[in-house]
Structure 1
Amino acid sequence: MTRRAWWLVVLNFVLPGSAQVLAGNRRLGRFGLRTTFALIAFAVVVGVAFTLWPAVVLTVFTNSIGLWVAAALLVFLGVVWSILTLDTLRLVRLVRAGPRARPVIAAFTTVLMVGVVGAAGYGAYLATTTSGLLSSVFVAGPTEPPVDGRYNILLLGGDAGPDRDGLRPDSISVVSIDADTGQASMIGLPRNLEDVPFSPGPLADLYPEGYGAIDGCEVSACMLNSIYTEVELKSPEMYPDAVADGSEPGIEGMRDAAQGVTGLTIQYYVLIDMQGFSDLVDALGGVDINVDHRVPVHTDETFTEVAFWFEPGMQHMDGFHALWYARSRHDTSDYDRMVRQRQVQEAILAQASPANVLTKFQAVASAGTEVVKTDIPQGMLGHFTHLASKTKALPIQSVELIPENDVDPEDPDYDVIRSLIDAALAPPATEEPAP
């Protein structure tokens, strides 16, 4: 009877339903076996589909409906497993097993039940929480095709400090991703660029010679990062459909400016709230940054008094220190800040591995809803997730718009800027085979 009990427990774990078919309610056993085989078949189909069409599978599991269906299936499987395991405990007839084996068998069966049912329950929790996160961050809208084989995303780091009238993007980048290879190039735009050109639209009509080039602008400083403030606070009517499309008038103004500067078509934007940025870094467990020169941390928002310095070398930073490392202004230049901001962005990408995000999911999800705003539709998440797996395997290229490359923010030559970008994004030349 002891050996019989162990066999039934093991069979229930390896092939749920088989214990009932052999020694109990065969109707219940057949139901359990059908459920088990259906689960195995489903896993095989998903595995084959993921091998052949990974973007399709990822699209299903980054969709709110798909996630809720997955959660329902996991709850169903957890309930079925619980019923089968409890019935198996009845079938083993512990009172007829050896006295020493009884508690061991009971404990082992209970641990298996709690482990499997707990895993199914946690999986359902992750699916529903992810669905809520995706619905709150990503919009339901049409997808955009790549332009010239690339996806271009405007990345804004917004900073609404106490001394500012509204939010002002201090970190402005365009991430250009090859739609086939996933190779990403990060173009950092100096926030103090002047005479900024615009792509066709209301701002191009208002400033045909560039932002503030003729009669000034509506804010105190006619620089690139002031465009958001002017449009958002002074003339939001320029972009009447922005909010309905999951954006903001100020963001659309920045998109037109970034397109005018780079000559690229920008399909999507991502706005990161720098005030909540530190929560995301903390949720990921911090980031590792290789500091190449001393960088100060300030005592307050005036960016003048130094509390302490980051010393050169590898540093593990929490959210507070990573934020100050990225935004420090004292004894530094905007170009230094751009380099540091890219360092932090790349460090976050490296830290945000699937395993790390999964183990810290609740904190990351809570931080994500407070930190990120974007118009990337849910329908693109599967494709972008698949593309991101390729991106992480490749080094991120940087396009340096700095004085050493003939970029003067006070008197910029936008033809030079576009030529630098075109050269960086051009596909590598391939040598033709000798005749």
Structure 2
Amino acid sequence: MTKRGWWLVLLNLVVPGSAQVLAGNRKLGRFGLRATLTLWTLAILLGVAYLLWPATVLTLFTSAIGLWVLAAALVFYGVVWVILTLDTLRLVRLVKAAPGARPLIAGFATVLMVVLAGTAGYGAYVATSASNFLSSVFVAGPSVPPVDGRYNIMLLGGDAGADRDGLRPDSISVVSIDAETGQATMIGLPRDLQWFPFSDGPLADLYPEGYGSIDGCEVDVCQLNSVFTEVELKSPEMYPKAIKNGSEPGIEGMRDAVSGITGLTIQYYVLIDMQGFSDLIDALGGVDIDVQSRVPVHSDDTFTDVAFWFEPGMQHMDGYHALWFARSRHGTSDYDRMNRQHQLQEAILAQANPANVIAKFEAVASAGTQVVKTDIPQGMLGYFVNLSSKTKTLPIKAVNLTPDNDVDPTDPDFVSIHQMIDEALAPPPTEAPAE
């Protein structure tokens, strides 16, 4: 009876429902076997589909409906597992097993039941939370194709504050991703760039010779990060459909500006609130940064009083200190800050691996809903998740439109800028086969 008890528990683990078919209620056993075989079949089909069409499978599990179906399936199998395990313990007849084996058999079966059912329950919780998170951050809209084989996404770091009228972009860049290989190129745009053109639209009509080149602009300083403020606060009617499409007038003005500067079609944007950015980093467990030169952490928002310095070398930073690392101004230039911000972005991408995100999902999701705003449609998430798996295996190229690269923000040559960007995005030359 002791051996029989162990065999029944192991059969319930390996093939749920088989213990009942062999030694108990066959109707319940057949139900358990059908549920088990259905689960195995679905798992095999999904595995094969993922190998053949990974983006399709990822799209399924990054949609609200797909995640709720997954949650329901996990709850169902968790309940079935509990019922079958309790019935298996009944079939074991512990009173007839050897006295020393009784607690071992009962304990082993109970631990397995708690672990597997608990895992299914937690998976269902993550799936429903993910569905709510995705619905709150990503819009429901049509997908757009790549342009010239690339997706170009504008990244804005919003510098909001209680003492400021609205939000203004403190960090402006474009990530351009090859739609086939996943190779990413980060293009950094200085916030003090001047005289830039706009792509076709209301701002191009208003400033045909470049931003502020004729009679100035509607704000004090006619530079790149002023576009958001001007459109959002003074001329939101320029972009009447912005909010309906999951954006804002100021963001659409920035999109036209960035497109005009880079010569690229900007399909999507991502706006990150820098004030809430530290919460996201804390949720990920901090971030590791290779500090290249001394960087001060300030004691207040004046950016002058120094509390202490980050010394060169690898540093593990929480959200508060990572934000200071990215924003510190003491003894540095805006271009130094751009380089540090790009370094931080790359470090966060490395930290935001699937295992880390799932393990800390509740905190990450809570921070993400407060930090991120985007017009990327939920239907594109599967494609971008699959593409990002390729991006992580490749080094990220960087093109910064700064004096170090012969770009004068006060007198930029946009023909040269477009040529610089085109060369950076050009695919590497293939070697001719040897004759």
TM-score over 0.5 (shorter chain):
yes
Give the structure 2 partner of residue 110 of structure 1.
110
Output the amino acid matched with 1:291. Answer: V
Distance 2:139 2:54 in 1: 22
DSSP-derived class of the 1:296 partner: strand
1:313, 1:30 → 2: CA distance?
62
Normalised by the length of structure 1, the TM-score is 0.99
- The corresponding residue for 2:57 is 57
In structure 1, the residue matched to 2:308 is: 308
Unaligned 5+ residue runs, structure 1? none
Render the CA deviation track for 1:15-57: whole Å, top value 9, x for unaligned.
1111111111111101110111111111100000001110010
Instruction: State the partner residue of 2:350.
Output: 350
| Residue 253 of structure 2 corresponds to residue 253 of structure 1 | yes
Counterpart position of 2:365: 365
Shift of 1:431: 2.7
Partner of 1:298: 298
Residue 196 of structure 1 deviates from its aligned partner by 1.8
Partner SS state of residue 272, structure 1: strand
**CA separation in 1, counterparts of 2:154 and 2:274?**
16
Residue pairs, 1:35-54, within 5 angstroms? 35-54=35-54
Is residue 173 of structure 1 aligned with residue 173 of structure 2?
Answer: yes
1:124 maps to 2:124: yes
Contact 1:198 1:204 in 2 (8 A): yes
Indicate the residue corresponding to 1:385 in structure 2. 385
SS at match of 1:384: helix
1:226-265, Cα deviation, whole Å (9 max, x unpaired)? 1001100001000000000000000000000000000000
Alignment deviations for residues 140-173 of structure 1 (CA, whole Å, 9 cap, x no partner) = 0000100000000000000113442210101000
- Distance between the aligned counterparts of 1:333 and 1:430, measured in 2? 39
> Which residue matches 1:224?
224
For 2:431 and 2:107, the matched residues in 1 are separated by 67
**Code of the aligned partner of 1:55:** A
1:97 paired residue number: 97
Within the alignment, does 1:17 sit opposite 2:6 as a pair?
no
Supply the distance in 1 between the matched residues of 2:266 and 2:348 (Cα, whole angstroms): 23
**Map of 1:8 onto structure 2:** 8
Displacement after TM superposition at 1:432 (Å): 2.5
Asked if 1:190 is matched to 2:196, the reply is no
1:434 deviation in Å?
Answer: 4.9
Give the superposition deviation at 1:428: 1.0
Asked if structure 2 preserves the Cα contact closer than 8 Å seen for 1:406 and 1:416, the reply is no
- Give matches, 1:264-279, under 5 Å: 264-279=264-279
Larger mean CA deviation between 399-408 and 238-247 belongs to: 399-408
SS at match of 2:297: strand
Instruction: Output the CA distance in 1 between the equivalents of 2:73 and 2:433.
Output: 55
Distance in 1 (alpha carbons) for counterparts of 2:336 and 2:26: 72
SS for the counterpart of 2:200 is coil
Q: RMSD in angstroms over aligned alpha carbons?
A: 0.9
Q: How many residues align?
A: 435
Which residue of structure 2 lines up, in the alignment, with residue 237 of structure 1?
237
Displacement of 1:433: 2.9
Q: Whole-Å Cα distance in 1 between the matches of residues 396 and 388 of structure 2?
A: 12
Cα distance in 1 for partners of 2:136, 2:111 equals 37
Contact 1:269 1:374 in 2 (8 A): yes
In the other structure, the counterpart of 2:329 is 329
Counterpart amino acid of residue 414 in structure 2: Y
> What corresponds to 2:397 in structure 1?
397
Deviates more, 1:3-12 or 1:269-278: 3-12
Q: Partner residue of 2:289?
A: 289
- Distance in 2 between the 1:393 and 1:169 partners? 30
Q: Runs of 5+ in structure 2 lacking a partner?
A: none
Q: Structure 2: how far apart are the matches of 1:369 and 1:405? A: 36
Structure 1 position 2, deviation (Å):
1.1
**Percent identity (aligned):** 76
The range that moved more, 88-97 or 273-282, is: 88-97
- Letter paired with 1:350: A
Q: Distance in 2 between matches of 1:346 and 1:95?
A: 60
Partner Cα separation in structure 1 for residue 262 and residue 158 of structure 2: 20
Tell me how far apart the structure 1 counterparts of residues 237 and 27 of structure 2 sit (CA, whole Å): 67
Partner of 2:86: 86
- 1:224 is paired with a residue whose SS is coil
Partner in structure 2 of residue 77 of structure 1: 77
Residue type at the aligned position of 1:65: I
Matched residue type, 2:195: D
Which segment drifts farther, 345-354 or 404-413?
404-413
Residue by residue, what CA displacement relative to the aligned partner does 1:201-238 show, whole Å, maximum 9, x if unpaired? 00001111111111111111111001001100001000
Cα drift, residue 194 of structure 1: 0.6
CA distance in 1, matches of 2:165, 2:297: 24
Distance in 1, matches of 2:162 and 2:124, equals 41
In structure 1, the partner of 2:416 is 416
CA distance in 1, matches of 2:162, 2:75: 47
**Distance in 1, Cα, partners of 2:28 & 2:274:** 56
Contact kept? 1:295, 1:311, Cα under 8 Å: yes
In 2, Cα distance between equivalents of 1:78 and 1:285: 30
Tell me the SS of whatever aligns to 2:255.
helix
Indicate the SS of the match to 2:225.
Answer: helix
